Amino acid sequence: MANLAVIDETLVSVQASQATLELLRDLHTQALTEPPYISTGNQHQSVALDRFVALDPDKCALVYLLLRATGARFVVEAGTSFGVSTIYLALAVGQNATLLEAPGKVIATENEKTKAIRARQHWQRAGDEVEKWIEFREGDLRETLKTNLPESIDFLLLDIWSALAMPTLALVKPHLKKGALVVVDNIIEGREGYTDLMEHLSDPKNGFRSTTAPYAGGLQIAVYVGTGAV
């Protein structure tokens, strides 16, 4: 039985209009009452098409708060699905950018057309505080993230089939600023698929320091400290 109380606990952490909070409550309720789905890393592209497979509400709250705390303005989301986590990313980026009177955007990625349509509908429902901060790249992220990335990226959310996590990091890493955060969902539950990523994040010579936070399935939080001297 899904614990729906966590939704309200999450929503009090987030600064947003009443309408967006209602939208998030609705989307999380749908997501938490669907059958669970864990990536094994070896799926063909078209799986879980009818499922949210959304980031859990408490993880969304953490991501939102990390973004607000660090003032992140340039964010990449690997794996958008119906766009639930993207709403949190866009709220935080929009709020940070507005505060600093500076640009910002969330680059969202999804390769399934039907999912992309749903995501766009959700963002439209949320309106300007969300929609205008999102640049949506439809198609295989191994192609769509190859070009036109911001020079300096503050945050990467890896909520993607595990086999794609390391290839995604490889594309984004050259753009990560020192101090950038990389958050990876289900690192323990999906550990078989994450071997290459974890080897990379755990070896200090690759420039990351990271820890596993005890959220459901394990949430890896890594900081890119760079490879040179401090």
Ligand X SMILES: C[S@@+](CC[C@H](N)C(=O)[O-])C[C@H]1O[C@@H](n2cnc3c(N)ncnc32)[C@H](O)[C@@H]1O
Least distance between ligand X and beta carbon 38 (Å): 10
Q: Would the CA dihedral through 37, 19, 74, 177 be positive or negative?
A: negative
Residues 61-80 touching ligand X, rule: CB under 6 A, are 79-80
Report if residue 115 touches ligand X, rule: CB under 6 A. Answer: yes
Instruction: Convert residues 35-54 into a mask of x (bound to ligand X by CB under 6 A) and - (unbound).
Output: ----------x------xxx
Q: Give the three-class secondary structure for 81.
A: coil
Least distance between ligand X and beta carbon 113 (Å): 10
Closer Cβ to ligand X, 164 or 184, answer by number:
164
Amino acid at 44: H
Instruction: Convert residues 134-153 into a mask of x (bound to ligand X by CB under 6 A) and - (unbound).
Output: ------xxx-----------
Which residue carries 């698929």 as its tokens?
193
Q: For residue 210, what is the enclosing H or E element?
A: strand 208-213
Residues 164, 169, 174, 175, Cα dihedral to 10° = 100
Pick one of 159, 162, 221, 222: the residue that binds ligand X (CB under 6 A).
Answer: 159
Instruction: Convert residues 166-205 into a mask of x (bound to ligand X by CB under 6 A) and - (unbound).
Output: ----------------------------------------
Six token digits for residue 128: 């300007």
Least distance between ligand X and beta carbon 156 (Å): 12
Report if residue 58 touches ligand X, rule: CB under 6 A. Answer: no
Least distance between ligand X and beta carbon 55 (Å): 4
Closer Cβ to ligand X, 88 or 224, answer by number:
88
Measured between alpha carbons, how far is 141 from 207 in angstroms, rounded to an integer? 23
Least distance between ligand X and beta carbon 79 (Å): 3
Closer Cβ to ligand X, 80 or 96, answer by number:
80
What are the DSSP calls for 103-160, one per residue?
--EEEEEE--HHHHHHHHHHHHHH-HHHHTTEEEEES-HHHHTSS---SSEEEEEE-S
Closer Cβ to ligand X, 135 or 203, answer by number:
135
Q: Give the three-class secondary structure for 180.
A: strand
Q: Give, in degrees to the nearest 5, the angle at Cα 116 between 113 and 121.
A: 130
Residues that bind ligand X in the complex, under the rule CB under 6 A = 45, 52-55, 79-82, 84-85, 109-112, 115, 140-142, 159-161, 164
